[in-house]
Amino acid sequence: MSGEEQNPAAVPDPVQDVQGDGRWMSQHNRFVQECKDAEPDVLFVGDSMIQLMQQYEVWRELFSPLHALNFGIGGDTTCNVLWRLQNGELDNIRPRVVVVWVGTNNHEHNAEQVAGGILTITQYLRSCLPRSKVVVLGLLPRGERPNPLREKNASVNSLLRSALDRGGPVQFLNMSGAFVHSDGTISPRDMFDYLHLTAGGYSTIATPLHELLLQLLEETPQERRASLV
């Protein structure tokens, strides 16, 4: 990305209330409030892929026990997530690991811009939380059959894989391979609308993610005295 023009996918931007019920800002405000009360070890931030995870059993089984907070908002782009992080959603918390999953809704941006937007988020997280680890989840394929958005998401993933060192403070975890069958189709048993995951779909990705989080939490010291178990 050249330094001369700003990457539009890396420009922080709140969601405007077009529909009339102010839901996006209400959710953001709730997350900011949660930061005042909670001491999460893991913060999940992103779009509906993050948000919906909390509604399934897998969250209660695997991620709540890690003292995780979920700051996902459906429809969010990299611009929206960046704005939220810069406007209160990191205040007063020191999560040891931040999981970032965003980019599939960046319809106005090309793959390079989307990858750049995701990296801007990780750089911002590193600057606020220098002792924390970041896990970037690869964008999943979408649509029932091969289509341009699958190619775009795959390009974003390639760019991220190149940019992020294995074992460094920002890691890339890509689980896309699990969902496309040999005939190129995605099953509604995994993605009920060929985009959002079912309970079964989340179980598939939760296992490797949970293992990675356990490993990273072990490596990353707490900054306060250990909480009683």
Partner 1 sequence: MFNDRAMSSDDSNPAATPTPCQDIQGDGRWMCMHNRFVSDSKGKEPDVLFVGDSLVQLLHEFEVWRKLFSPLHALNFGIGGDATQHVLWRLGNGELDHISPKVVVLWVGTNNHGHHPHQICGGIMAIVNLINQKLPHAHTLVLGLLPRGKNPNLLRDRNAEVNQLVQSEVATLPHASFLNVDPGFVHSDGTIWHQDLYDYLHLTPQAYQKVCEPLHDRIKALLDQPAENQVS
Alpha helices by DSSP H, 22-163: 23-37, 48-53, 57-58, 78-86, 111-128, 148-163
CA 73/CA 80 separation, integer angstroms = 9
Q: Which span sits near partner 1 by CB under 8 A: 22-30, 76-84, 86-94, 156-164?
A: 22-30
Of 156-195, binders to partner 1 (CB under 8 A) are: 188, 192-195
Q: For the sheet containing 97-101, what is the strand order? A: 68-72, 42-46, 97-101, 133-137, 170-173
Is residue 48 annotated as part of the catalytic site, yes or no?
yes
- Considering only 1, 12, 66, 74, the residue that binds partner 1 (CB under 8 A) is 74
Q: Under a CB-based contact definition with an 8 Å cutoff, are residues 83 and 27 in contact? A: no
Nearer to partner 1, 59 or 83 (CB): 59
Residues 6+ apart with CB under 8 A from 208: 173, 175
Which helix or strand (DSSP H or E) is residue 6 part of?
none
Query: Which of 187, 196, 203, 210 is labelled catalytic?
Result: 196
Tokens of 201: 């779909």
Query: Which of 48, 76, 132, 190 is labelled catalytic?
Result: 48
Of 108-127, binders to partner 1 (CB under 8 A) are: none
Contact between 88 and partner 1 by CB under 8 A: the answer reads no
- Considering only 147, 162, 207, 222, the residue that binds partner 1 (CB under 8 A) is 147
Q: Which residues bind partner 1 (CB under 8 A)?
A: 18-23, 26-27, 30, 51, 54-56, 73-74, 107, 142-145, 147-150, 188, 192-196, 198-199
Active-site amino acid positions: 48, 193, 196
